[in-house]
Amino acid sequence: MEFTTTIITSTIIITACAILHLYGAYQDRKWLFYLFKPVTTLSIAALCWYLAPGFNDYVWLILLGLLLSTLGDIFLMLPKDRFIPGLLSFLLAHVAYIIAFSMALELTYTWSLIFPLAIIAMIYLTLLWSSLAEMKAPVLVYMSIIVIMAWVSGERYLSLNSSASMYAFIGAIVFLFSDATLALDRFKKQFHSAYAVIIVSYYLAQYFIALSVI
């Protein structure tokens, strides 16, 4: 009962923080925007810490990924554009997740998983390529890493077939969607609701990845 109550309470707190951040973003309440973006990610990290039955390497790597993501949040929300440091922070977070998802796993190559991810990545990269200018190399590297993360999480789920591995796979796929929307909004065509789509899917992704420590 206590475990379920903690999950529900934490989810409500995380949701409230995310809503306050979005309210600050769309209503130009800067203090809400700046405060609740990292607070939401740190709240997810706190939930991850609480849920962990023990602190093994997997848990530490997931926590590291969440903390690096928080650093990325801070870089991306600062008034001056610090997109490259933010991109690097999230890239390192994805590397931490890849290492975590690869642990205790005899990595296989499920082509029915690899092909769709690769095709989606190539289509997206082709769509964005002409708009990337000097960002071509960083975006190519970042996209490769997040696709690898999604693939490895999928292989983990197919191998372990557990609730925890399913949460990690869901989180990775949603993260892929969030970053794809961010790239489209930043480099191709901006739309008013983009930030809400990006941030909601981002927090959902981190939430499910945090649940994978159960």
DSSP 162: -
Where residue 188 falls among pLDDT bands split at 50, 70, 90? Answer: confident
What is residue 24's predicted lDDT score, i.e. its pLDDT? 96
Name the band, by pLDDT with cuts 50, 70 and 90, for residue 76. confident
Q: How confident is the model at residue 79 (pLDDT cuts 50, 70, 90)?
A: confident
* Dist CA 2 CA 135 (whole Å): 48
| pLDDT band with cut points at 50, 70 and 90 for residue 191 | confident
Say yes or no to pLDDT of 111 above 80. Answer: yes
| Model confidence pLDDT, tens digit, residues 8-28 | 999 999 999 999 999 999 999
Max mean pLDDT among 75-89, 95-109, 170-184 falls in 170-184
Going from the C-alpha of 161 to that of each of 54, 100, 119, 166, 175, the distances in angstroms are: 21, 16, 25, 7, 20
In the chain, the number of structural domains is: 1
- Of the ranges 11-25, 30-44, 189-203, which one carries the lowest mean pLDDT score? 189-203
The predicted structure's pLDDT at residue 196: 96
Q: Are 135 and 186 in contact (CB under 8 A)?
A: no
**pLDDT number for residue 107:** 75
Distance of alpha carbon 87 from alpha carbon 75, whole angstroms: 9
Q: Is 1 helix (H, G, I), strand (E, B) or coil?
A: coil
For residue 197, give its domain range: 2-211
Task: Round the CA-based radius of gyration of the chain to a whole number and report it.
Answer: 17
Whether the per-residue pLDDT at 96 is higher than 90: the answer is: yes
- Exposure string for 20-44, b = 16+ CB within 10 A, e = fewer: bbbebbeeeeeebbbebbbbbbbbb
Q: What is the mean pLDDT of residues 101-106?
A: 86
Residue 160 confidence (pLDDT): 93
Spatial neighbors of 211 by CB under 8 A, at least 6 apart, are: 48, 51, 164, 167, 171
**45-74 pLDDT tens trace:** 999 999 998 899 999 999 999 999 999 999
pLDDT at 81: 65
Q: Contact, 151 vs 114, CB < 8 A?
A: yes
Mean pLDDT, all residues of the chain: 93
Q: What are 129-184's pLDDT values in tens digits?
A: 989 988 899 999 999 999 999 999 999 999 999 999 999 999 999 999 999 999 99
Return d(Cα 70, Cα 4) in angstroms, integer.
Answer: 26
Q: Which residues of 163-182 are buried (b: 16+ CB within 10 A; e: fewer)?
A: ebbbbbbbbbbbbbbbbbbb
Q: How far apart are CA 115 and CA 112, in angstroms?
A: 6
Residues 4/37, Cβ–Cβ less than 8 Å: no
Confidence of residue 77 (pLDDT cuts 50, 70, 90): confident
